[in-house]
Chains A and B, each alone.
Chain A
């Protein structure tokens, strides 16, 4: 009898968990589905290929925002990727465990924990004003770079550490120097892992609004021609179009849907790419390790 009761109790709890799991997945899918559904209605070739017209929103598009977001991502990666990989190499291959490496790891962890809005404020005071870059592609890209640097550093370090020592020994035994070994064998084996980490960072950067809001100008209707030009970005556009632009609410919403759809599509593309690369990498590593 008691056992029966316990059995029933177990079944009930299990069922509850199943329901909760389904709910949480349903919620997440609803968000994405909702944006896709309404976004599809808002998107047209003109919307994707024209510049915004903030006086008559229904005639405009979001081309400068799409290009701007990609440019910002480019600058951000140009800064964070080489620096991150170099740091990762140093931490994984050259550093002995000492005060320097411990503090580098600590500060990387620190940087990762800094809220993006604080990075934005820092970008505003340091890049925009102090260094005089103004609200620009350069300021925005670098600030995003500060934000994702910890990801590129740690992902590189972990991926490099996962490379089996037998590769290093084989290379050194052929007479390669340390740097030749790192460049020729270690990075070659670690690159899918490193790229996965970079893509995770890129996904963060592409969707980040607060940092860009503070370090670029906001409502932009043209494409950037130089690093010091102002630049538009999709996340900022979504926020601005809903809050700042004096237009009919319905039009603003429709445009925000369209921009959200584009943004989320880019984000998911990056995400899916990162995941498939990760899976391939994990599989390969398990082949290597037997």
Chain B
């Protein structure tokens, strides 16, 4: 049993006029990094946001099943807020809140009722995990918006870690970053994999090849091919996958 499993997942936008995901069935393993690749508009973000039910915000309709630890999260009895605590997300553009660095990380635990005396420990540990602690430990009270783009993104990772999620979704986390920041985040991903299940969207084939254990290739809302990254990159079964990863496509 995978950590996350979808069965016949369909997502529609705008009252059914846009069919963004078409019958996607996939099993995502625990404590592995799964990369989602595919041309722009193929539904990668939509797939990620189906896992923490964030699609609901833009009026999307979801059909099929999404199971986490075998439980359907679209079942009416699920507490969405608890679900989202378990499934963290890091967005394409770094989006720290306009507050201090400390408050950014403490925001999540506070929301979930953690009291002040435990907070500073959680903040420190999360920042350390996100490899940001040494850079900011002397200025936790300064505004998060003063950080560089790469630091902001690591802050967002720390913020997601602070609520102790089981799964973390990364939506092109490095697309706004320079190569050095990107490398740091890739190192981070490899470390985090020990404790978390990671799903990452990327447009960068090398990145997918470098960091991921499994790769899923999407095209126009369909899951074309899914398997171990080495296999996908060395012996793609589908012609379209091969075209895409060799750059002969879109």
Contacts and interface: CB of A to CB of B under 8 A. Distances in A.
**Is the pairing of A and B real?**
yes
Nearest to B169: A173
A175 interface: yes
B61 interface: no
A287 interface: yes
B107 interface: yes
B156 interface: yes
A175 B88 CA distance: 9
A21 interface: no
Interface string B194-222: 00000000000000000000000000000
Nearest to B92: A166
Nearest to A181: B111
Interface in B168-196: none
Contacts, number: 70
Interface string A158-187: 000000101111111111110010001100
B108 interface: yes
B98 A175 contact: no
A185 B81 CA distance: 16
Give the secondary structure class of A's interface: helix
A284 B98 contact: yes
B97 A189 contact: yes
A188 interface: yes
Contacts of A180: 111
B52 interface: yes
A250 interface: no
B84 A189 contact: no
A189 to B, nearest CB: 5
Contact of A189 (B81, B98, B111, B163): B98
Interface of B: 52, 54, 57, 81-86, 88-89, 91, 93, 95, 97-99, 107-108, 110-112, 145, 156, 159-160, 163
Query: Which 4 pairs show the lowest CB-CB distances between chains A and B?
Result: A175-B85, A166-B95, A173-B89, A174-B108
